Amino acid sequence: MASTIAHNMPALASTLSPTSISKLQMTTAQYRAAYTSKTTGNPHDKIVTGGIIILGPKILLVKRAATEIYYPNMFEFPSGNVDETDASILHSLIREVMEEIGLIIATVLSPEGGSLILISNPPTNMFQSLLRGALIASATISYVSAIPTISIKGSKFFTNGQQFFLKGVAYQGTPDDPLVNTSQCQSDATLMATIGTNTIRVYHVDPTQNHDGCMKAFSDAGIYVFLDLDTFTTSIVSNAPTWTETQFNAFSKVADAMQGYDNLGGFFIGNEVITNDAQSNAAPYVRAAAADIKAYMALKKYRQIPVGYSAADIAELRPMLQNYLACGTDQSQNIDFFGLNSYEWCGDSSFTVSGYANLQQMAQGYSIPIFFSETGCNTPKPRLFTDQAAIFSANMSDTWSGAIIYEWVEETNDYGVVTYPNGKIYSGAPTPLQPDFNNLQNQWKSVNPSGIAEASYTPTNSAPACPSATGGWQVDGSAAIPRLDTGIISAAAGNPVATPAASSVSSAAASVTTTAPGGAFAALPSNATAPYPAGNGTAPYANGTAPCSTITLTSLIPISTISSAVASTTPVGASTGPGGILVATGTPTTSANNGGVVSQSPLPATTSTQVSVNGAGVLTVRSTVAGLAMVFAGFLLL
């Protein structure tokens, strides 16, 4: 969730009266029914044409006007929903939203669904946070206090302005997705919280499954999820490395499915792909995968989710591997964090004897966050976890960002800290394995590094130099990495590389563009002028020159005034700004811009569908004879 909203919304929302909170907890269907009772005629039509909804986290507000255009400074609440005091508070909440993300307009699609369409250009991290919860039928206002997202500055993680240290456990004992059974996740998250867990690592998920319940269970417990993007069939293979479109598509599906959760801490692009110097040739493929996934998420306008790598602790690869994955000045081609799977500290060892002093020396000055993505030697028994005191001590905490204990569930390898009834895995009430469970709890209770406030932190570490090929490292750090063609990434993100240029439009139609971020492209009749004079735009879109503005026409354009080429097959143009709006004349047109919305004038008497290939969803537009009465309906593709 973006910072302004995260900081200001909870304080405002907390002042709402219990009565108003109760009334705001109506389901989408109930709200729709309440609104419909105040209208006449077909309720679907009334809601589509006039039910403008403004979204705050899990708050649905309807402007009760069947034919009016919505203005940002006007707010109406259906009678009986909120009192005047709360209306003022909610007004402030909405203004916070609008100042942060620009105008959001959403309309209910049908009495049966809760689907919306948007016209907006928000930062996607907040866009997803606002909408995902707001459209759940049983949504409640409590979501305004959602867990703050993890971000990176220099070599440190931050949440809500404070440095973040991982106290995590590995949470996957079988190939099955552990984030689909809500009740099981709730049981595990509750017990994890008692020992101070703030992170879990999950190795594989099924992107076709619903993870809302489990992600919420861990979020409610204050627990972040670091997730591997690969599957058992798509991981980069050590001895025969590849990075293919098939692998990319599989990775991106996982990213799509999980990116909207605020408590997603980051993605691992691979786990222990390289385990000896002979396999170091796989490193460029790891780096290419990270670069392409980061590029894809940027095109999709997702929040900046960290993408890193989890390495086996192999002495002969230190420090070449960690340096190679973060080297050079182009951070877009590097990983964002480095995880180390290390089991060197066994029993009641020490900073020097364990080898941690050597690990610290090699990581000192590293330019990105580094942490133990697996740790917890299991010999001798019981496990003491005394390495945690070292990791969070002054010796290491300025460099290392915490640790993930391997693992939560007891398997045949004897690394677990809990068991389940009848020897099952992730099924039933978890039972602590003692004294290991209490030993870990006591260690974490005793270590609480304060870190540094984000506002007070100025990164000084430079990216490491790219290592040259040597006898123990076979990769030339200056060589290009095997990234996929940019067209593949762009097409997958719904952002084709080539877009129709305004110059390709027939002279029968003039075109004007706004190139500011969130700007609009409009194709106008030949007598139109720019900037658009008063009356040539429909408020609040008039003149359409500001960022996030939309330009529409006030009258139908006879199809005869447009060249036959445009009328038959040629799109008029595309938005030039990220998140821009395309308002076209001629044939149905597709927006290729993230956040873009497609509309068209004129259209046949019956509604036609224009498809947006990105996250803004599907929009249908119908023009009527009376000026420009734009009737919006559609789906928001969550």
Residues designated catalytic: 272, 374
Whether 333 and 295 have beta carbons less than 8 Å apart is answered as: no
Measured in degrees and rounded to the nearest 5, phi and psi for residue 520 equal -125, 155
CB atoms within 10 A of CB 389: 16
CB atoms within 10 A of CB 446: 10
Structure tokens at 146: 């959602």
Residue (of 623, 621, 529, 536) closest to 581 by Cα position: 621
The answer for residues whose C-beta is within 8 angstroms of residue 250's C-beta and 6 or more apart is 230, 231, 233, 234
Asked, as a colleague might, if the bond just before 316 is cis with ω within 30 of 0, I would say: no
Spatial distance between the Cα atoms of 615 and 295, rounded to a whole number of angstroms: 16
Residue (of 446, 371, 378, 376) closest to 403 by Cα position: 371
Q: How far is CA 547 from CA 82, 151, 448, 519, 561, in A?
A: 32, 26, 45, 5, 30
Which residues on adjacent β-strands are paired with residue 55?
60
Whether 410 and 433 have beta carbons less than 8 Å apart is answered as: yes
Spatial distance between the Cα atoms of 334 and 283, rounded to a whole number of angstroms: 11
CA-based Rg of the chain, rounded to a whole angstrom?
27
Sheet of 520-525: strands edge to edge?
509-513, 520-525, 581-584, 597-600
Per-residue HEC secondary structure of 8-56 comes to HHHHHHCCCCHHHHHHHCCCHHHHHHHHHCCCCCCHHHHHHHHEEEEEE
Whether 309 and 336 have beta carbons less than 8 Å apart is answered as: no
3-state secondary structure of 368: coil
Spatial distance between the Cα atoms of 355 and 353, rounded to a whole number of angstroms: 6
Q: Is the backbone of residue 399 left (phi > 0), alpha (psi -120 to 50) or beta?
A: alpha
Residue with tokens 């009328």: 567
Which residues on adjacent β-strands are paired with residue 147?
none
Residue with tokens 């190679």: 324
Structure tokens at 516: 């500011």
Structure tokens at 102: 């620009």
Amino acid, single-letter form, for residue 132: R
Spatial distance between the Cα atoms of 30 and 529, rounded to a whole number of angstroms: 46
DSSP structural state of residue 252? H
Structure tokens at 119: 């016209």
Spatial distance between the Cα atoms of 631 and 620, rounded to a whole number of angstroms: 8
Structure tokens at 91: 């007004």
Buried/exposed code over 84-114 (b: 16+ C-beta within 10 A; e: otherwise): eebbebbbebbebbbebbbbbbbbbbeeeeb
